[in-house]
Amino acid sequence: MLSRLIIVPESFDQDHPSLTVAELTRRSGLPAPTVYRLVGDLVETGLLERAENREVRPGVRLWELAALVPRASGLRVAALPFMVDLQATVGHHVVLSVLEGHESVVIERRSAGTRSRPITASAGGCRCMPPPAA
């Protein structure tokens, strides 16, 4: 059950921050009745929230739980002063991420403002990384 439950929040990404239940069903590969039930439970607990257009999106409770991860929060606090100094020195965006398997999870980001290209990474975002060379 838990393996099915995690598939629903994992269906969201930077390009799809909110989805209809039908889109969640398609992206997750789970049966529609299962997705409807899981979405209802996740909305009830605050892990997902309903938008006004009937789409659902990750809820604040999901972010609160993610923020409790000690490795990420301790690393963020320790790195933040260095990130601020680095960003001021180089004048570009600075992103702190942690490699988790073949994905990079963004822990913190510092924007350089309008002088640089827009930053696309968001805290908690994942980006697929190529497998390490054998």
Q: Report pLDDT digits (tens) over 30-54.
A: 999 999 999 999 999 999 999 889 8
Q: Which tens digits make up the pLDDT trace of 96-129?
A: 888 878 777 788 888 876 555 545 555 555 444 4
Q: Taking the domain 2-64, which CATH number applies? A: 1.10.10.10
Distance from C-alpha of 33 to C-alpha of 100, rounded to nearest angstrom = 32
| Average pLDDT score over residue span 11-33 | 93
Domain ranges of the chain: 2-64, 69-128
What is the CB neighbour count within 10 angstroms for residue 51?
Answer: 12
Distance from C-alpha of 15 to C-alpha of 13, rounded to nearest angstrom = 5
**pLDDT tier, 8 (very low <50, low <70, confident <90, very high otherwise):** very high
Q: Which residues of 90-109 are buried (b: 16+ CB within 10 A; e: fewer)?
A: eeebbbbbeeeeeebbbbbb
